[in-house]
Amino acid sequence: MANPVISGLPGGFPIQWENEVVGGLGIAGGHFEQDQSIGNKAIASLQPN
């Protein structure tokens, strides 16, 4: 989920690995709720099963 401490934008998501931020993902172009939904799904797809 978007982290307001790292990014003030609703479509900004930190990418974390072993509790370290290793990158970021930015989603834009739709309504902020759409951007957040897409970002949440993208970040979830990076998690190990």
Structure tokens at 20: 């370290």
Residue 1's pLDDT is 56
CA 32/CA 49 separation, integer angstroms? 28
Q: What is d(CA 42, CA 40) in angstroms, rounded to the nearest whole number?
A: 5
Number of structural domains in the chain: 1
Which domain covers residue 16, as residue numbers?
1-49
**Alpha-carbon distances, residue 33 vs 1, 6, 8, 20, 25 (angstroms):** 12, 18, 14, 26, 15
Global confidence as pTM:
0.72
Whether 13 contacts 43, CB under 8 Å = yes
Tens digit of each residue's pLDDT, the chain (49 residues)? 556 666 667 788 989 888 899 999 999 999 989 999 999 999 999 887 6
pLDDT of residue 31: 92
pLDDT for 11: 84
pLDDT given for residue 2 in this prediction: 55
Q: For residue 4, what pLDDT is reported?
A: 61
